[in-house]
Amino acid sequence: MAVVHRTTLSPTKLELLTSWLPQQPWYLGGAGGKPELAQAGGYRLDDPTGAVGIEFMLVTDVSGDKPVTYQMPCSYRGAPLEGAGDDALIATPEHGVLGTRWVYDGAHDPVLVVQLVALMAGAAVPQEQSISNTPDPTVEGHFTGREHPVATGIAAVTSDTDGTDVRVRTANTSGAGLTLHVNRVVRPGQAASPGDLGHVTGNMLLPDGTKARTLFASVRETGSGPTAG
Protein backbone atom coordinates (compact mmCIF):
# COMPACT_ATOMS: atom_id res chain seq x y z
CA MET A 1 0.00 0.00 0.00
CA ALA A 2 1.04 3.60 -0.61
CA VAL A 3 2.90 5.43 2.16
CA VAL A 4 1.83 8.98 3.00
CA HIS A 5 5.06 10.83 3.86
CA ARG A 6 5.01 13.49 6.57
CA THR A 7 7.18 15.96 4.68
CA THR A 8 7.13 19.04 2.49
CA LEU A 9 6.13 19.63 -1.12
CA SER A 10 7.37 22.81 -2.74
CA PRO A 11 5.32 24.46 -4.17
CA THR A 12 2.45 23.04 -2.09
CA LYS A 13 -0.45 21.22 -3.70
CA LEU A 14 -2.78 24.17 -3.21
CA GLU A 15 -0.21 26.53 -4.73
CA LEU A 16 0.12 24.25 -7.76
CA LEU A 17 -3.62 24.13 -8.29
CA THR A 18 -4.04 27.88 -7.80
CA SER A 19 -1.95 28.40 -10.94
CA TRP A 20 -3.36 25.46 -12.90
CA LEU A 21 -7.12 25.68 -12.29
CA PRO A 22 -7.88 28.94 -14.18
CA GLN A 23 -6.55 27.37 -17.39
CA GLN A 24 -9.17 24.59 -17.37
CA PRO A 25 -12.46 24.72 -19.34
CA TRP A 26 -14.50 23.66 -16.30
CA TYR A 27 -13.14 26.42 -14.05
CA LEU A 28 -16.00 28.73 -13.04
CA GLY A 29 -13.96 31.71 -11.88
CA GLY A 30 -13.72 33.38 -15.27
CA ALA A 31 -10.76 34.42 -17.37
CA GLY A 32 -7.90 35.80 -15.31
CA GLY A 33 -9.38 34.53 -12.07
CA LYS A 34 -7.16 33.73 -9.11
CA PRO A 35 -8.61 31.02 -6.87
CA GLU A 36 -8.40 31.11 -3.09
CA LEU A 37 -8.32 27.42 -2.28
CA ALA A 38 -9.05 25.42 0.86
CA GLN A 39 -8.96 21.65 1.24
CA ALA A 40 -12.38 20.00 1.17
CA GLY A 41 -11.58 16.28 1.44
CA GLY A 42 -10.57 13.51 -0.89
CA TYR A 43 -9.13 10.01 -0.91
CA ARG A 44 -6.36 7.86 -2.38
CA LEU A 45 -6.04 4.66 -4.36
CA ASP A 46 -3.07 2.31 -4.44
CA ASP A 47 -1.03 1.54 -7.53
CA PRO A 48 -0.51 -2.25 -7.34
CA THR A 49 3.11 -1.77 -8.48
CA GLY A 50 3.78 0.95 -5.91
CA ALA A 51 5.30 3.26 -8.54
CA VAL A 52 2.60 5.92 -8.90
CA GLY A 53 0.88 7.94 -6.20
CA ILE A 54 -2.87 8.36 -6.78
CA GLU A 55 -4.86 11.04 -5.00
CA PHE A 56 -8.31 12.53 -5.53
CA MET A 57 -8.30 16.01 -4.00
CA LEU A 58 -11.31 18.19 -3.26
CA VAL A 59 -10.56 21.90 -3.05
CA THR A 60 -13.00 24.77 -2.50
CA ASP A 61 -12.45 28.13 -4.18
CA VAL A 62 -13.77 30.93 -1.96
CA SER A 63 -12.65 33.83 -4.16
CA GLY A 64 -16.04 34.41 -5.80
CA ASP A 65 -19.52 35.31 -4.60
CA LYS A 66 -20.26 31.63 -3.93
CA PRO A 67 -17.79 28.89 -2.97
CA VAL A 68 -17.10 26.29 -5.68
CA THR A 69 -15.64 22.86 -4.93
CA TYR A 70 -13.49 21.14 -7.54
CA GLN A 71 -12.30 17.55 -7.74
CA MET A 72 -8.70 17.07 -8.83
CA PRO A 73 -7.48 13.53 -9.55
CA CYS A 74 -3.69 13.73 -9.33
CA SER A 75 -0.98 11.22 -10.08
CA TYR A 76 2.53 11.56 -8.68
CA ARG A 77 5.45 10.06 -10.58
CA GLY A 78 9.22 9.88 -10.21
CA ALA A 79 9.73 10.41 -13.96
CA PRO A 80 7.73 11.87 -16.86
CA LEU A 81 4.68 9.93 -18.07
CA GLU A 82 5.56 8.60 -21.50
CA GLY A 83 3.24 9.90 -24.22
CA ALA A 84 1.53 12.49 -22.02
CA GLY A 85 0.79 15.84 -23.65
CA ASP A 86 1.63 19.23 -22.20
CA ASP A 87 -1.97 19.62 -21.02
CA ALA A 88 -1.59 16.58 -18.76
CA LEU A 89 1.27 17.90 -16.61
CA ILE A 90 0.34 20.12 -13.67
CA ALA A 91 3.83 20.84 -12.31
CA THR A 92 7.14 19.36 -11.11
CA PRO A 93 7.42 20.21 -7.40
CA GLU A 94 10.14 19.06 -4.99
CA HIS A 95 9.17 16.40 -2.44
CA GLY A 96 11.08 16.41 0.84
CA VAL A 97 11.69 12.65 0.71
CA LEU A 98 11.27 11.55 -2.91
CA GLY A 99 12.83 14.51 -4.74
CA THR A 100 11.38 15.87 -7.97
CA ARG A 101 7.86 14.65 -8.64
CA TRP A 102 5.94 14.90 -11.90
CA VAL A 103 2.36 15.75 -10.93
CA TYR A 104 -0.23 14.97 -13.61
CA ASP A 105 -3.91 15.59 -14.10
CA GLY A 106 -4.87 12.01 -13.30
CA ALA A 107 -7.52 11.80 -16.01
CA HIS A 108 -4.57 11.51 -18.42
CA ASP A 109 -2.73 8.85 -16.40
CA PRO A 110 -3.61 5.25 -17.27
CA VAL A 111 -2.60 3.96 -13.83
CA LEU A 112 -5.10 6.26 -12.09
CA VAL A 113 -7.87 5.54 -14.62
CA VAL A 114 -7.41 1.76 -14.37
CA GLN A 115 -7.63 1.89 -10.57
CA LEU A 116 -10.66 4.19 -10.58
CA VAL A 117 -12.57 1.74 -12.78
CA ALA A 118 -11.36 -1.06 -10.51
CA LEU A 119 -12.85 0.81 -7.54
CA MET A 120 -16.23 0.86 -9.26
CA ALA A 121 -15.95 -2.86 -9.98
CA GLY A 122 -15.03 -3.73 -6.39
CA ALA A 123 -11.42 -4.60 -7.21
CA ALA A 124 -9.71 -1.64 -5.49
CA VAL A 125 -10.07 -0.31 -1.95
CA PRO A 126 -10.23 3.46 -1.35
CA GLN A 127 -7.69 4.75 1.16
CA GLU A 128 -7.67 7.64 3.61
CA GLN A 129 -6.19 10.74 2.04
CA SER A 130 -3.65 11.53 4.77
CA ILE A 131 -3.12 8.25 6.65
CA SER A 132 -1.03 5.34 5.36
CA ASN A 133 -2.54 1.87 4.98
CA THR A 134 -6.00 2.90 6.16
CA PRO A 135 -9.15 2.16 4.10
CA ASP A 136 -11.72 4.96 3.75
CA PRO A 137 -15.21 3.44 4.11
CA THR A 138 -16.93 6.73 3.21
CA VAL A 139 -15.86 6.36 -0.43
CA GLU A 140 -18.02 3.79 -2.23
CA GLY A 141 -17.71 2.25 -5.66
CA HIS A 142 -20.69 0.68 -7.43
CA PHE A 143 -21.09 -1.26 -10.66
CA THR A 144 -24.48 -2.43 -11.93
CA GLY A 145 -23.48 -4.10 -15.18
CA ARG A 146 -23.41 -7.86 -15.42
CA GLU A 147 -19.85 -7.86 -16.77
CA HIS A 148 -17.45 -6.06 -14.45
CA PRO A 149 -14.88 -4.14 -16.50
CA VAL A 150 -11.14 -4.67 -16.39
CA ALA A 151 -9.62 -1.42 -17.63
CA THR A 152 -6.28 -1.58 -19.43
CA GLY A 153 -5.63 2.00 -20.51
CA ILE A 154 -6.83 5.24 -22.08
CA ALA A 155 -8.01 5.75 -25.66
CA ALA A 156 -8.85 9.48 -25.50
CA VAL A 157 -9.42 12.32 -23.03
CA THR A 158 -11.65 15.36 -23.57
CA SER A 159 -12.59 18.15 -21.17
CA ASP A 160 -15.28 20.81 -21.42
CA THR A 161 -17.43 22.87 -19.09
CA ASP A 162 -19.17 19.71 -17.81
CA GLY A 163 -15.99 17.94 -16.70
CA THR A 164 -13.70 15.34 -18.23
CA ASP A 165 -14.57 12.27 -20.30
CA VAL A 166 -12.07 9.44 -20.65
CA ARG A 167 -12.58 6.73 -23.23
CA VAL A 168 -11.32 3.61 -21.50
CA ARG A 169 -9.75 0.55 -23.07
CA THR A 170 -10.91 -2.66 -21.44
CA ALA A 171 -9.83 -6.28 -21.59
CA ASN A 172 -13.21 -7.90 -21.22
CA THR A 173 -16.11 -5.49 -21.84
CA SER A 174 -18.04 -6.22 -25.00
CA GLY A 175 -19.79 -3.63 -27.17
CA ALA A 176 -18.73 -0.05 -27.81
CA GLY A 177 -16.40 0.28 -24.84
CA LEU A 178 -16.64 2.53 -21.78
CA THR A 179 -16.53 6.26 -21.14
CA LEU A 180 -15.47 7.40 -17.68
CA HIS A 181 -16.79 10.80 -16.61
CA VAL A 182 -14.87 12.67 -13.91
CA ASN A 183 -16.90 15.35 -12.17
CA ARG A 184 -14.70 18.42 -11.82
CA VAL A 185 -17.23 20.65 -10.07
CA VAL A 186 -18.81 18.71 -7.22
CA ARG A 187 -21.97 19.76 -5.41
CA PRO A 188 -23.93 18.33 -2.48
CA GLY A 189 -26.46 15.71 -3.50
CA GLN A 190 -25.09 14.88 -6.94
CA ALA A 191 -26.01 11.33 -7.94
CA ALA A 192 -25.51 8.90 -10.80
CA SER A 193 -27.73 9.17 -13.88
CA PRO A 194 -30.01 6.43 -15.26
CA GLY A 195 -28.00 4.34 -17.65
CA ASP A 196 -24.71 4.66 -15.78
CA LEU A 197 -23.05 1.27 -15.34
CA GLY A 198 -20.98 2.35 -12.38
CA HIS A 199 -20.07 5.28 -10.18
CA VAL A 200 -18.06 6.45 -7.16
CA THR A 201 -19.58 8.52 -4.35
CA GLY A 202 -18.10 10.05 -1.21
CA ASN A 203 -18.14 12.98 1.17
CA MET A 204 -17.30 16.61 0.47
CA LEU A 205 -16.53 19.12 3.20
CA LEU A 206 -18.78 22.17 3.03
CA PRO A 207 -17.61 25.68 3.97
CA ASP A 208 -19.66 25.54 7.19
CA GLY A 209 -17.74 22.45 8.36
CA THR A 210 -20.47 19.89 7.67
CA LYS A 211 -20.20 17.06 5.13
CA ALA A 212 -22.44 16.05 2.24
CA ARG A 213 -22.51 13.13 -0.18
CA THR A 214 -21.64 13.75 -3.79
CA LEU A 215 -20.76 11.99 -7.04
CA PHE A 216 -17.07 11.80 -7.95
CA ALA A 217 -17.15 9.79 -11.16
CA SER A 218 -19.38 7.60 -13.32
CA VAL A 219 -19.00 5.23 -16.24
CA ARG A 220 -21.29 4.16 -19.07
CA GLU A 221 -21.06 2.51 -22.44
CA THR A 222 -19.46 4.82 -25.00
CA GLY A 223 -22.12 6.43 -27.15
CA SER A 224 -25.02 5.55 -24.87
CA GLY A 225 -25.79 9.12 -23.80
CA PRO A 226 -24.48 11.89 -21.54
CA THR A 227 -22.82 11.12 -18.24
CA ALA A 228 -23.74 12.77 -14.96
CA GLY A 229 -22.26 16.24 -14.66
On whether residue 197 sits in a domain, the answer given is yes
Structural domain that includes position 131: 9-221
Question: pTM above the 0.85 mark?
Answer: yes
Domains: count for the chain: 1
On whether residue 2 sits in a domain, the answer given is no
Running DSSP on this structure, what letter comes out for residue 108?
G
Q: How far apart are CA 55 and CA 160, in angstroms?
A: 22
Tell whether the model's pLDDT for residue 39 goes beyond 60: yes
Q: How far apart are CA 179 and CA 224, in angstroms?
A: 9
Q: How far apart are CA 45 and CA 24, in angstroms?
A: 24
How does pLDDT run across 68-97, given as a tens digit for each residue? Answer: 999 999 999 989 998 888 789 998 878 666
On whether residue 226 sits in a domain, the answer given is no
Q: How far apart are CA 51 and CA 198, in angstroms?
A: 27
pLDDT of residue 98: 64
On whether residue 161 sits in a domain, the answer given is yes
On whether residue 3 sits in a domain, the answer given is no
Q: How far apart are CA 201 and CA 70, in angstroms?
A: 14
How far, CA to CA in Å, does 96 sit from each of 49, 62, 91, 104, 126?
Answer: 22, 29, 16, 18, 25
